[in-house]
């Protein structure tokens, strides 16, 4: 479930044995854990370790690849400095991924900064990431593309506390018979109304249903097999969050970088969720 890699630098070259372990672990659904890799904050950036940096409305502050910052209460120079810190994180994680993994066509998506303590946040079940889930977003159709996320715990003292659930195939096999039939025309309508950016595919509908059904199922949340993981301060981890069941139960001050890639970039595309769901459902989901 955890593949621990003793990498201590954001740039390679990394040992071939390390690269092989990283690729095999990641694609088979492990969380790559880097206990010796810290994302260091400059002295002036430590002012951002404060929940008031958030505008209080969204869970996360996000920076899109064009540099636009959203959901922060900061303005002027401090906002610029926060954006610069997040851009440095995006650059560092991109360079590590390029040097560690064989993927050559990776899209750099959003960067997020999570300055609010996870514990005690109140929200609806569907948006509550303290519940076990796979990532699937209503407004962002992936059409089979993968969601790869790099996390860094930048809190001075508190660990980031996660649960990591059962393998994707076991999870999907249990839930597929329960997810509702697709509504004909729904994806077309959502695209026209601007709810989604681009049209959702059958794959997206299925992933969203799996996400929602799992979060609403109290018995699954309480009883399904999972492992507790504490990511210490100054550590990082990397995971395909569209495949690995995860829940973030506690912690403050994390940075996260999202990457997207086509499954033909993978060494073993058959392990991708779209291929697993196609095998289990007996239909094409493209």
For Fe ion, the binding residues (CB under 5 A) are 135
Please tell me the distance from the alpha carbon of residue 286 to that of residue 277, in angstroms, as a whole number: 11
Q: How far is the CB of 170 from Fe ion (least distance, A)?
A: 19
Q: How far is the CB of 66 from Fe ion (least distance, A)?
A: 24
Q: How far is the CB of 110 from Fe ion (least distance, A)?
A: 13
- Of the chain, the end-to-end C-alpha distance in Å amounts to 29
Please tell me the distance from the alpha carbon of residue 261 to that of residue 256, in angstroms, as a whole number: 17
- Pairing assessment for the beta strands 107-114 and 146-153 based on DSSP bridges: unpaired
When the beta carbons of 135 and 252 are compared against Fe ion, the nearer one is 135
Beta carbons of 272 and 187 less than 8 angstroms apart: no
Q: How far is the CB of 147 from Fe ion (least distance, A)?
A: 9
Q: How far is the CB of 62 from Fe ion (least distance, A)?
A: 14
**CB-based closest residue to Fe ion:** 135
The H or E element containing residue 256 is strand 254-261
Tokens at residue 49, please? Answer: 């370790």
Please tell me the distance from the alpha carbon of residue 27 to that of residue 270, in angstroms, as a whole number: 10
Using alpha carbons, list the distances in angstroms from residue 54 to 25, 60, 147.
34, 7, 25
When the beta carbons of 135 and 205 are compared against Fe ion, the nearer one is 135
Tokens at residue 105, please? Answer: 């066509």
Tokens 């001075």 locate to 156
Please tell me the distance from the alpha carbon of residue 51 to that of residue 89, in angstroms, as a whole number: 19
Q: How far is the CB of 248 from Fe ion (least distance, A)?
A: 7
When the beta carbons of 3 and 135 are compared against Fe ion, the nearer one is 135
When the beta carbons of 135 and 278 are compared against Fe ion, the nearer one is 135
When the beta carbons of 10 and 89 are compared against Fe ion, the nearer one is 89
Q: How far is the CB of 267 from Fe ion (least distance, A)?
A: 24
When the beta carbons of 27 and 135 are compared against Fe ion, the nearer one is 135
Using alpha carbons, list the distances in angstroms from residue 196 to 183, 199, 204, 205, 216.
16, 7, 11, 12, 23
When the beta carbons of 10 and 220 are compared against Fe ion, the nearer one is 220
């Amino acid at each position: 479930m955890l593949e621990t890699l003793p990498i201590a630098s954001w740039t390679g070259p990394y040992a071939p044995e390390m690269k092989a372990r990283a690729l095999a672990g990641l694609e088979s659904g492990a969380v790559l854990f880097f206990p010796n890799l810290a994302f260091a904050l400059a002295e002036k950036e430590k002012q951002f370790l404060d929940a008031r940096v958030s505008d209080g409305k969204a869970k996360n502050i996000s920076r899109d690849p064009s540099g636009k910052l959203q959901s922060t209460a900061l303005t002027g120079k401090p906002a610029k400095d926060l954006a610069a810190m997040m851009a440095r994180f995006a650059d560092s994680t991109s360079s590590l991924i390029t040097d560690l993994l064989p993927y050559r066509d990776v899209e750099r998506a959003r960067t997020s900064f999570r300055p609010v303590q996870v514990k005690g946040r109140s929200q609806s079940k569907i948006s509550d990431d303290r519940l076990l889930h796979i990532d699937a977003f209503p407004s962002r159709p992936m059409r089979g593309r993968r969601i790869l996320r790099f996390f860094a715990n930048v809190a001075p003292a508190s660990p980031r506390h996660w649960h990591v659930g059962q393998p994707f195939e076991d999870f999907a096999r249990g839930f597929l018979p329960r997810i509702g039939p697709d509504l004909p025309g729904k994806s077309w309508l959502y695209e026209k109304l601007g709810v989604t950016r681009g049209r959702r595919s059958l794959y997206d509908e299925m992933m969203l249903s799996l996400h929602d059904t799992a979060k609403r199922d109290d018995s699954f949340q309480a009883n399904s097999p999972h492992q507790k993981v504490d990511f210490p301060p100054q550590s990082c981890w990397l995971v395909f969050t569209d495949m690995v069941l995860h829940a973030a139960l506690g912690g403050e001050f994390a940075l996260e970088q999202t990457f997207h890639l086509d499954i033909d970039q993978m060494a073993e595309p058959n392990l991708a969720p779209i291929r697993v769901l196609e095998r289990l459902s007996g239909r094409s989901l493209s």
